């Protein structure tokens, strides 16, 4: 999930955990604790892009890191606020909830997290919520603003932290149900369309949870399409993409390439763009792919021009978006 959402949600949980009057201080601690796993962003200052991609949501999103950092936060908070009547165990529980909640929410996005680092480099992901989903984020954000404005002893503070915490978790449950439905419908559709596949991936298209992006791995490459929860015709129009591994013969042992393959969980294709080979990570979808099935992929990495790969994941996420694209997205969500 995006950093602002973590900050707002963490602050709301901080408010909920402590008595009125201490709430605004707890909001600050909650925002800090919810943000600390994302400290891995500093790795981009000295790592190259493939290394930074693997470092992000790696060790700092692991159970081991959480176990290490929770007592540190607890000791510091306990020392800073002395004298007080807050038990040390309450600090520990508070920071444990904040940090493990960060991991839980990020687990729902397609980027994945290194939950068991450094013991295994496997990335875990539920692929059930888009990384920037306004239907999730708007509630903690509004609640966060109201809690900042209200006096520390205002009786309405309890209402607003509940808005900022309870509604988002109902939405997570709703998204989980949607994921279950899409997974089962996709399996049925693939069988009905007689598609022979090795595995498939389902993840939400941008900014919502009703239109889903489907990647199916076959013997020849990948089939990519979109499925709405409201589709009446249970059939997916797929576009064929080939992996094109033959293009990698000259650089197959390249260290950066191997890191990108690992990062992509083997959902990738290779293309030739003019004078460079391009690595596409299919998990992040296409630029407005529901509108044009031949669009480029959001994540594309220039294998022979590494200096051009800054902000590689974000680069194409909202390229070409305008009001017409939003309108077409809404039309496709309604279903075929």
- The count of other CB atoms within 10 Å of the CB of residue 280 is 24
Q: Which of 325, 14, 333, 305 is nearest to 157 (CA)?
A: 14
Q: What is the mean pLDDT of the chain?
A: 90
Read off the pLDDT of each residue in 312-330 and give the average, rounded to a whole number: 81
- Distance from C-alpha of 145 to C-alpha of 207, rounded to nearest angstrom: 22
**What is the reported pLDDT for 86?**
85
- Output the six-digit token pair for 67: 């176990």
Phi then psi dihedrals of residue 156, to 5 deg: -80, -10
| Residue 61 Cα distances to 27, 37, 117, 300, angstroms | 21, 6, 8, 24
Read off the pLDDT of each residue in 177-190 and give the average, rounded to a whole number: 97
- Distance from C-alpha of 49 to C-alpha of 118, rounded to nearest angstrom: 20
**What is the reported pLDDT for 297?**
92
Read off the pLDDT of each residue in 25-34 and give the average, rounded to a whole number: 93
**What is the reported pLDDT for 325?**
92
**What is the reported pLDDT for 307?**
61
- Distance from C-alpha of 83 to C-alpha of 86, rounded to nearest angstrom: 9
- Distance from C-alpha of 283 to C-alpha of 112, rounded to nearest angstrom: 10
Torsion angle of alpha carbons 93, 98, 103, 109, nearest 10°?
A: 150
Read off the pLDDT of each residue in 252-274 and give the average, rounded to a whole number: 88
Specify the DSSP class assigned to residue 267: -
Res. 332: pLDDT tops 80: yes
Strand partners, 200: 216
Residue with tokens 């949600």: 9
- Distance from C-alpha of 329 to C-alpha of 206, rounded to nearest angstrom: 9
Res. 72: pLDDT tops 80: yes
- 128 within 8 A of 108, measured Cβ to Cβ: yes
97-128 pLDDT, tens per residue?
A: 999 999 999 999 999 999 999 999 999 999 99
> What b/e sequence results for 201-211 when a residue is b if at least 16 CB atoms lie within 10 Å of its CB, and e otherwise?
bbbbbbbbbbb
Res. 313: pLDDT tops 60: no
- Distance from C-alpha of 308 to C-alpha of 335, rounded to nearest angstrom: 38
Phi then psi dihedrals of residue 295, to 5 deg: -65, 160
Residue with tokens 């929860």: 229
- Give 314's pLDDT tier (boundaries 50, 70, 90): low
196-252 pLDDT, tens per residue?
A: 999 999 999 999 999 999 999 999 899 999 999 999 988 999 999 999 988 988 776
| Residue 57 Cα distances to 53, 115, 233, angstroms | 8, 9, 38
- Distance from C-alpha of 172 to C-alpha of 136, rounded to nearest angstrom: 8
- Give 311's pLDDT tier (boundaries 50, 70, 90): low
């Amino acid at each position: 999930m995006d950093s602002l959402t973590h900050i707002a949600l963490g602050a709301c949980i901080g408010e909920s955990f402590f008595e009125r009057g201490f709430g605004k201080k707890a909001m600050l601690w909650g925002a800090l604790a919810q943000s600390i796993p994302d400290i891995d962003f500093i790795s981009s200052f000295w790592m190259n892009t493939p290394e930074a991609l693997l470092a992000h949501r790696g060790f700092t999103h692991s159970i081991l890191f959480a176990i290490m950092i929770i007592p540190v936060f607890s000791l510091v908070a306990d020392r800073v606020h002395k004298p007080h009547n807050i038990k040390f165990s309450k600090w520990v529980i508070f920071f444990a909830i904040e940090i493990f909640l960060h991991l839980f929410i990020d687990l729902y996005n397609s980027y994945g997290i290194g939950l068991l680092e450094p013991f295994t480099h496997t990335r875990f992901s539920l692929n059930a919520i888009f990384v920037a989903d306004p239907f999730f984020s708007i509630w903690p954000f509004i609640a966060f603003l109201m809690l900042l404005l209200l006096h520390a002893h205002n009786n309405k503070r309890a209402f607003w932290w509940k808005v900022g915490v309870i509604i988002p978790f109902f939405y997570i449950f709703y998204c989980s149900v949607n994921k279950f439905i899409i997974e089962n419908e996709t399996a049925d559709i693939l069988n009905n369309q007689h598609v022979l596949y090795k595995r498939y991936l389902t993840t939400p298209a941008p900014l919502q949870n009703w239109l889903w992006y489907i990647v199916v791995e076959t013997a020849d490459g990948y089939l990519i399409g979109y499925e709405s929860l409201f589709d009446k015709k249970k059939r997916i129009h797929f576009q064929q993409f080939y992996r094109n591994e033959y293009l990698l013969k000259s650089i197959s042992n390249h260290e950066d390439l191997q890191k990108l393959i690992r990062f992509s969980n083997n959902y990738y294709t290779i293309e030739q763009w003019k004078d460079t080979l391009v690595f596409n990570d299919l998990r992040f979808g296409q630029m407005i792919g529901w509108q044009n099935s031949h669009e480029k992929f959001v994540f594309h990495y220039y294998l022979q021009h590494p200096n051009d790969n800054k902000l590689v994941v974000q680069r194409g996420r909202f390229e070409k978006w305008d009001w017409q694209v939003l309108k077409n997205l809404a039309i496709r969500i309604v279903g075929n």
